[in-house]
Structure 1
Amino acid sequence: MTALLRLEAVNLAHTIDDTEDLATRRGGGYMLLRAVHKVAERFNGDLAPIGTGASIGLFAILHGHDAQALRDKVAHYLSEVSPFRHATFVVAIADDPDFPRGVERCVAGNRWQQMQSLGFATRWGTATQVCATDEIRPAASPHRHAGQAASLSVAARARGRAGGRNLRQSFYATELKLAPDTAARYRFTDDFETLAAFPPDHPDYAGLSPNLDAKIAVFYADGNSFGAIQHTCATPQALHAWDTEIKQRRRQLLQGLLDWLAATPQARTADGALRLETLLWGGDELLFVLPAWLGLEFARRFFALNAGWAHGGHALTHATGLVFAHRGAPIRHLQHLAKDLAQRAKDDGDKHRNTLAWLVLESFDTTGDELDTHWQKCGIAGDGWRTLRLDEPRLDILAEIEALKPLLPRSALIRSLRSLAAGRGGDELTLLQNAYASTHEALDATGRDTLAAFWQAFDATWQAQPDEPPTADAAPLTALLTLWDYLLPPAPMTLTAEAPHA
């Protein structure tokens, strides 16, 4: 068996999460993504890529090469060449006749090195003051970012070859294999302020709530059992085939999302820039930021574009998290919260489908230690996150509900939810019945069928005159009222799932 070399970027808290500055975070993420590919290019003829996802690379050491000497060369390259020297990489080798065991030995070697190394790179330069961006590292003269003194690390990520607009543009061009003239048609906003800017008098935004001004949606996706599939690959060829397959699927997914955004008026600024940030890409994890009014529809498109994905007879699905918040909320917190929600969307017995756990934060509010009991205030007992999880059918019926909003008596629905949450009977039941009746009377037959289908999607039954407080109604009422402002009017493109993978 050919000897293996595995490299991995570690201690990412000091490479991405050490600042709220978007350009620096973006540059850090792209730097890690680029590092693996640069090693493959630099050591072409010495190493053969087996799997190169995100910030991890697994290579076969070609025959005739000294494995230890090559490991040292790769480690030296990553520790000395800018911008990679501002991150922390571990490089390990293994030579084992059993391929899966060899991979695990490489992983163990990476972890051992990580435990023995510092959690951050010590490239300071000439320190004159504290970095104004991360407020931790010494600033290095004459480096500056956004007009203020910056450390070497921030300068490399935010302004150097690893950061900025050009690298982001090259990311999409490289990932999608676009010709230069095609790539030039994709332009993106450069900050959350522009991304979430709400034009109050623009006709394309007439159907949206002004409450969405300056709000963003943070969408995180984690592949279900993707890692388990890697562990079942018994040969380098099998792992390389899986790596190639998932990259191709990801490429098709990204292209589909960009096509939808490009055709959606509310997804472009006045000068034609797309309102999208891709902060994490590769492996089985993805992270996007977009305007709040696009969040739910983005999730719906995401699910539709990977519908039917399968490998070895098993569905390839995602557990996802979606956070709506003010653009000024700390992105570090929102990112971690979106990941936490994705974990709550997971269910070992439910990995055959895509699932979404979601949360709406008002202003700078956070759920803190109350995340487990967050939905109890709405009268939802038990695991509210599981009860309110969205999947493809629920997202589809939510899209249909949007057309009913002008007809639905929102105040009556709010009174209904308050009565259910309070759990009171007697006079409260009469008020609840009146609220339900007014909702029922406001709709025609088609609207009533849509509302009934929405209730059914949440395992409840719509009744115009309930005999007793129907506790199951707390879930559809909570979803409808909490997401009321975030339902996007019908988009111009039709949903089309990806053709079966070749």
Structure 2
Amino acid sequence: MNQRFLWIEAVNFDATIYDTNDLSVIRAGSLILGDLGDVAQGALETLAQAREGLGFDLEFAGASQARFRLTGDGDDCDAALAAVQAALSRGVWAHMSIVAGLGDTPEQAIAGALSRRFRTWTMPAWQERPSDTFDALDKVRPATKKDGLKGLLSESTSARLNQGRRRRETFLTERAGERLTQAGLRDRDDGDPGALKLCASFEDMVLGRGGKTCTSPESALGKICLLHLDGDGFGKAARAAEKAGRLREFSDRLETTMEAGLARIIDAAVDSEALEAPEGARRLRLEILVWGGDDITLALPATRLLPTLTAFHAAIDGLEFDGAPLGFTGGAIIANYKSPVRKLVALAETAVHTLKAGDARGCFTVDVFESADVPESDLAGLRANIFGEEARAPGAFAFRLSEASALIDSLRKWKGGAGDAFPSRSKTFDLLARDGGAADDETIDTLLLDYHERLGGAMQEGGRFLPPGPMGRSRMLELKLGMMLWDYVGPDLPGDAVEAAA
């Protein structure tokens, strides 16, 4: 009996997931791809009933990928490939971009699949008849379907939109149902002022609040955060587990940890909403754009970033497999809620790749953009223009993921002690402007000590205002980072709300 490997992978996400800014369409693409392994396995099970010589084992599924070990003759393996391709081209799958390949080794199977990527269209070909109107959401495909809320849509966008609507609540309740039920989650507005409702759009996520407890600056309330987290050490651990015959054990461990991480993130979102939003305006201000394997992409209000990172780190802290540590590296992009999500995702992924290439794994960076027209790339150059050449070094610009909680504490202490133990915001900007913005650490520290002595403050010489990150940073860069994050540490909550948040 021959043994071959079948590799299946989803590709071209810009054309199949992030081609619109609609939450339901994005959600559908992500959740559909989460079923890739199950759909392929179902197709193989059906085929194996008709072909007794075909055997198969699922070796890995996750992160929009799946690998099967096949046994059988050449015709059996070819039929398995054809069956999987057919199953992943029907219904809503026809609007996704999937490649598959066979090989005598896993590497050959991957190469065979990816070679198909460059011999097919980036955007799956549409079958709609010509139309004088283009899709209201993607602005590209011909519009032939009418949606009561969105207007005229293409077949692709309409199918994904409906799928996203159907699955928007089940994905969350299957993983954190008890907590969300306790919080009063409702998929639709049923008139209950105490209900926790899902967000229908990025605008709803960031602007559909406001009340007595939420006093964050308006500039922050209009911003979303696109957070991308990518695993560190998972590939190496998976290869070691495979070699030891424990790949399924590793996959199960990863799934359990990720489920715990998601539960913590949802808890943080529910807790923040209970503190910030008045009754009648409560939303689950969290969107899971990608959740597969060790690949995570979230959208959330900009002021929720640091609490979310803190919650996620609590779930994955100490994660290891056979003594090998596992972790995550993150990139956060804060921008106007109207910014194209495709650009935000690309920038966040660039931030993560920059950290990993710069030996700063296990860390995260935050980049803030004021305009809705965010750049396409070159984060290093943008950082250097704003923060100085030092910011090109990922280790200087980053914070450790384990420092997320300490960063919140540091920023709150700075804001609470501004003008006393810490420089006020206006004084900080004054210091940053000294010597044309080129003052060295010694000069700035001398000015800070003099400033606090005159105020009777208690600043200690050499004392730092923010966690040091993986390689430390100059005082100038520290002050600039503090000013960038000043409005995004979270809402200023009065009295009992602050105590509850602590």
| Match of residue 427, structure 2, among 385, 407, 412 | 412
Q: What does residue 139 of structure 2 align with?
A: 135
Cα shift at 1:148: 2.2
The structural deviation recorded for 1:421 is 5.7
Cα distance change on mapping 1:133 and 1:149 into 2, 3 Å: same
Count residues with an aligned counterpart.
465
1:5–1:60 CA contact under 8 A, matched in 2: yes
Where 1:116 maps in the other structure, the secondary structure is coil
**In 2, are the aligned partners of 1:324 and 1:360 still within 8 Å (CA)?**
yes
- In 1, the alpha carbon distance for the partners of 2:116 and 2:471 equals 53
Deviates more, 1:225-234 or 1:191-200: 225-234
Q: How does 1:142-221 map to 2 (within 5 A)?
A: 142-144=145-147, 146-159=149-162, 162-164=163-165, 166-175=166-175, 185=185, 187-197=197-207, 199-200=209-210, 202-206=211-215, 208-221=216-229
Measured after TM superposition, the shift of residue 279 of structure 1 is: 0.5
1:168-208 CA-partner distances (Å, limit 9, x unpaired): 222223455879967974753121111102644x23213x2
Question: Scaled by the length of structure 1, what TM-score is found?
Answer: 0.82
Aligned twin of 1:423: 438
Q: Is the 8 A contact 2:209 2:282 kept in 1?
A: no
Deviates more, 1:364-373 or 1:251-260: 364-373
1:437 correspondence with 2:440: no
Contact (CA 8 Å) 1:145, 1:155: kept in 2 or not? no
Partner in structure 1 of residue 194 of structure 2:
none
Unaligned runs of 5+ in 1: 97-101, 462-470, 495-502
CA contact (8 A) 2:100 2:114 kept: no
After TM superposition, the structure 1 stretch with the greater mean CA deviation from structure 2, 369-378 or 21-30, is 369-378
Query: 1:83 is paired with a residue of what secondary structure?
Result: helix
Deviations 1:433-452 (A, max 9, x none): 4555334665755xx46992
Classify 1:174/1:274 alpha carbon distance in 2 versus 1 (closer, same or farther; 3 Å): same
TM-score, normalized by length of structure 2? 0.82
What secondary structure, in the 3-state scheme, does the structure 2 residue paired with 1:372 have? helix
Go from structure 1 to structure 2 and tell me whether the alpha carbon gap of 1:451 and 1:232 turns closer, same or farther (over 3 Å shift).
same
Instruction: Classify the secondary structure of the residue corresponding to 2:168.
Output: helix
Cα offset, 1:372, TM superposition = 2.3
Paired residue secondary structure (1:338): helix
Larger mean Cα displacement after TM superposition, 412-421 or 143-152: 143-152
Contact kept, 8 Å, 1:263 with 1:492, in 2: the verdict is no
Q: How far, CA to CA, are the matches of 2:235 and 2:470 in structure 1?
A: 32
| d(CA) in 2 for partners of 1:290, 1:491 | 23
**Aligned pair 1:258/2:266, yes or no?**
yes
**1:115-165 CA deviation, whole Å, 9 max, x = no partner?**
22222322323333332322222223x444734221111111012xx321x
Following superposition, the deviation at residue 290 of structure 1 comes to 0.6
Identify the range of structure 1 (482-491 vs 189-198) with the bigger mean alpha-carbon deviation. Answer: 482-491
Hey, what's the Cα distance between the residues in 2 that align with 1:120 and 1:492? 49
Do the aligned partners of 2:358 and 2:395 also contact (CA within 8 Å) in 1? no
SS in 2 for 1:60: strand
Among residues 111, 116, 119, which one is paired with 2:119 in the alignment? 116
Query: Structure 2: 5+ residue runs without aligned partners?
Result: 49-55, 187-196, 419-423, 493-497
Written as runs of structure 1 = structure 2, the 5 A alignment for 1:439-458 is 439=452, 445=458, 448=459, 452-454=463-465, 457=468
Tell me the distance in 2 between the aligned counterparts of 1:131 and 1:167: 22
The 5 A counterparts of 1:44-443 are 44=45, 46=48, 47-61=56-70, 66-79=76-89, 81-94=90-103, 96=104, 102-129=105-132, 130-140=134-144, 142-144=145-147, 146-159=149-162, 162-164=163-165, 166-175=166-175, 185=185, 187-197=197-207, 199-200=209-210, 202-206=211-215, 208-235=216-243, 237-264=245-272, 265-266=274-275, 270-347=280-357, 349-351=359-361, 354-364=362-372, 366-367=374-375, 371-376=379-384, 377-381=386-390, 383-392=392-401, 394-401=403-410, 402-408=412-418, 409-419=424-434, 422-423=437-438, 433-434=446-447, 436-439=449-452
| Matched AA of 1:346 | K
Give the percent of matched residue pairs that are identical in Structure 1 and Structure 2.
21
The letter for the 2-side match of 1:30 is L
CA contact (8 A) 1:319 1:356 kept: yes
Call closer, same or farther: CA 1:50–1:327 in 2, change over 3 Å: same
CA distance in 1, matches of 2:98, 2:427: 57
Q: Contact between 1:400 and 1:450, CA under 8 Å: does it hold in 2?
A: no
How far does residue 89 in structure 1 lie from its aligned partner after superposition?
Answer: 1.7
Q: Counterparts of 1:460 and 1:228 in 2: how far apart (Å)? A: 25
Cα distance change of structure 1 residues 439 and 374 upon mapping to structure 2, 3 Å threshold: farther
What amino acid does structure 1 have at the position aligned with 2:450? A
In 2: Cα distance, 1:191 partner to 1:439 partner: 46
Instruction: Give, in angstroms, the shift of residue 330 of structure 1.
Output: 1.3
The alignment partner of 2:413 has SS state of helix
C-alpha separation in 2, matches of 1:180 and 1:385: 37
Give how far 1:256 is off: 1.2
Q: 2:276 and 2:41 mapped to 1: Cα distance?
A: 36
Q: Does 1:22 align with 2:23?
A: yes
Q: Partners of 1:372 and 1:5 in 2: how far apart?
A: 39
Per-residue CA distance 1:78-106 (angstroms, 9 max, x = gap): 12x21101122222233x4xxxxx21121
**CA-CA distance at 1:29 after TM superposition:** 1.8
Q: Is the 8 A contact 1:50 1:237 kept in 2?
A: no
Contact 1:217 1:324 in 2 (8 A): yes
